[in-house]
Amino acid sequence: MAIRDEITGKNALFIPMLSARSYETGLYNLLLDGNMARLVSMLKVAKPRHATILIPYNVINLDQIKAQLSNTGIHTVFCRCSAYGDNAAATRKNGVVFEDFLETYFDYWPKFDYVIVEPNTLAVNDRFRSFFKDSKIIYWCVASVTSKGTPWFVKDYEDIDKEIAAKMSTECVLQTQVEALGGLSYADEKGFYDPSIFDYETIFFPFRLSDKNYHANEFKRAAIKAAQICSRNFKVLYTDVNDSGLFYERPDLFVKVPSQKEVYLGMLKSRPIIPYLEDVNILTHINIHEMLYYGCRIIMLENDVYKGQEGVSFIASISDLQDEIIRRIESGQ
C-alpha cells in the first residue's frame, strides 16, 4: 500500500530533503522547492489527520506554504530543524545531526502513526528507528540507483539505499529503482505528484498601478472579492513598473513578475484574462494591439471601437467588474 493510502486520517511526521537554497542569501525558498511542492501535493491527496514537517531554520515563504494547506482539514505543524545544511548534498550527509535533533526533542513529539523519511543517512540508522519503534517508518526514495543507471548526486549512496530497502518499506517513483534496490521497495508513480493541485487561472495586469485610467484600486478590490467567491483558483500576475506597491498586501493572490518585454510577451502568449479598463473611446495604447494579436481574454468598458472583437467581453461600469471576473474565471473563457 502506498504512502498516500496509508497515512489518510493518521498522524505523520515528514522529514523531507530540501534544496532550493540561495547562494546569495543562504535562505531556503520553500515556495520554489520541488520537494516541498511534492510534499504539499501528497498531503492534499492523502489528507492525514495531523502532519509534522521538519524544515530548515532559514526559510522564506513559509506563510504561503501554510496558505496552500489551509482549508484542508489537516492540522499541520512546521518544525525548524538544525540538520539542514548549506545544500542538499550537505543535508544528505547529516543523518547523525538529524538523530541528535530528534532525540533532543523526543519527549515533546506526539505519537506518530507514520514517519516518512527522505535523508538516507538517517533512515539507515538503528538509533533513528529506535526512536519511532511504535511507528511505521517509510523511506520515501525519489532518487536512487536504477536498473538503467544512477543520478550523479546519489551515486555514493547506492549501498545505503539497498540496505534501507532490505529493512523497511521504501517507496520509489520508478520501477527501475525497484529493480535495482529490491527488498521491500515498491513503485508508486501515481502518488509522486499531482500538478492539478497547483493549477490556477491567470489574470494579467501589466499596467502602471498609479495611473488612475487603469482603475487599479477598483480592480484590486474586485479581484479580492472574486477570489472569496470563485470555485476555481486564480492569481493576478502584475508588473508594477514604477514600484507603487499597491498589490503588496496580498502576495498569495497578487504575484509580481518582471517587467521586461520578453516576460510581458510570454505572458500574452499564454492568453491570460486582462482587465483593460482604459477608456478606449478617447485614448489607445500599443499594448491593446499586442493583447489582441496574441488572443488574450480581455475585459473592457463598453465601447464601439472593439465591439465584436473575438475574446473581448464588455462591462457597463467598473461596478460590474467583479461579476465579470468571476464569470470568466468560472467559465475558463
Whether the pLDDT of residue 136 is over 90: the answer is yes
Average of pLDDT values for 299-313?
Answer: 89
Domain closes at, from 163, 195, 227: 195
Q: Helix 261-269 and helix 286-293: axis angle, to 10°?
A: 40
Any idea what the CATH number is for the domain that residue 17 is in?
A: 3.40.50.2000
More confident residue, 333 or 226: 226
Structure confidence at residue 190 (pLDDT) = 84
Is the pLDDT higher at 282 or at 258?
258
**pLDDT at 84 (0 to 100):** 95
Check pLDDT > 90 for residue 309. no
Same-domain check for residues 104 and 161: yes
How far is 88 from 92, CA to CA, in rounded Å? 6
* Average confidence (pLDDT) over 9-31: 95
Task: Tell me the CA distances in angstroms from 27 to 23, 60, 177, 324, one per residue in order.
Answer: 8, 7, 32, 40
pLDDT per residue as tens digits for the range 149-168: 999 999 999 999 999 999 99
Q: Is the domain of 228 the same as that of 284?
A: yes
Q: At what angle do helices 216-229 and 321-331 cross, to 10 degrees?
A: 50
Q: What's the average model confidence in pLDDT over 47-52? A: 96
Mean residue pLDDT across the chain: 93
116 membership: H or E segment, kind and range:
strand 114-117
Biggest CA–CA distance in the chain, Å, is 76
Pick the last residue of a domain from 137, 169, 195.
Answer: 195
Rounded distance between C-alpha atoms, residue 125 and residue 122, angstroms: 6
Give yes or no: residues 222 and 139 share one domain. no
Predicted local confidence at residue 283, as pLDDT: 82
Q: Do 60 and 158 reside in the same domain of the chain?
A: yes
Give yes or no: residues 156 and 240 share one domain. Answer: no
Q: What is the mean pLDDT of residues 235-263?
A: 91
Q: CA–CA separation, 253 vs 197, rounded Å?
A: 16
User: Do 155 and 208 share a domain, yes or no?
Assistant: no
Question: Could you identify the residue written with the cell 501515481?
Answer: 190
Per-residue pLDDT band at 22 (split at 50, 70, 90): very high
Q: Residues 180, 220: one domain?
A: no
Which of 268 and 106 is assigned the larger pLDDT?
Answer: 268
Does residue 239 sit in the same domain as residue 187? no
Pair (187, 316) in one structural domain: no
Q: pLDDT category, 120, cuts 50, 70, 90?
A: very high
Domain extent at residue 277: 200-331
pLDDT computed for residue 202 by the predictor = 97
Tell me which H or E stretch contains 88.
helix 88-92
Q: Are residues 167 and 183 in the same domain?
A: yes
* Count of structural domains, the chain: 2
Q: Is the pLDDT of residue 16 over 80?
A: yes
Same domain, 232 and 94: no
| Whole-number pLDDT of residue 294 | 96
Average pLDDT rounded to a whole number, residues 268-279: 95
Domain boundary among 168, 195, 222: 195
Sign of CA dihedral 167, 80, 76, 71: negative
**Are 140 and 220 in a shared domain?**
no
Of 77, 68, 3, which Cα lies nearest the Cα of 30? 68
